[in-house]
Amino acid sequence: MPENIIIPISPEGLLEEVLKMKGSGCRLVQICATRIEEGYEMSYSFGKDLDLYTLRFCIGEDVEIPSVTEIYPASFLYENEIHDLFGVPIKMISLDYQGTLYRTEKKTPFK
């Protein structure tokens, strides 16, 4: 049975852990945010063949996190989505839509 595990990490170690994933030959599967009481829970999922590894960390509101587009260029859509729907500030996205990816009536509707 393929693995499906969640690995807790610290927010500061995000880029380092993502680099490790890249080094071990994983592809980016998805990035998502979940609203929790004191902020957001971020999940970065990576896949290797059929295994799924999810990096998990929690951040407070308005805490800026670095973008992983330098490591995984395809992540720009996920990061813009999280920025537009949840209002998580993400710096240095390679293609930053500045909040215009989703034309929602209300800014950051999932916040």
Chain positions contacting other proteins, by CB under 8 A: 1-2, 4, 6, 27-30, 32, 34-35, 43, 45, 49-50, 52, 54, 72-74, 76-78, 84, 95, 97, 100-104, 109-110
Give the shortest CB-16-to-other proteins separation in angstroms.
20
**Residue 31 phi/psi, 5° resolution?**
-130, 135
β-strand partners of 32: 43
Give the shortest CB-74-to-other proteins separation in angstroms.
4
Residue with tokens 């999940």: 43
Give the shortest CB-87-to-other proteins separation in angstroms.
14
C-alpha to C-alpha distances, 95 to 3, 32, 40, 51, nearest whole angstrom: 32, 18, 23, 29
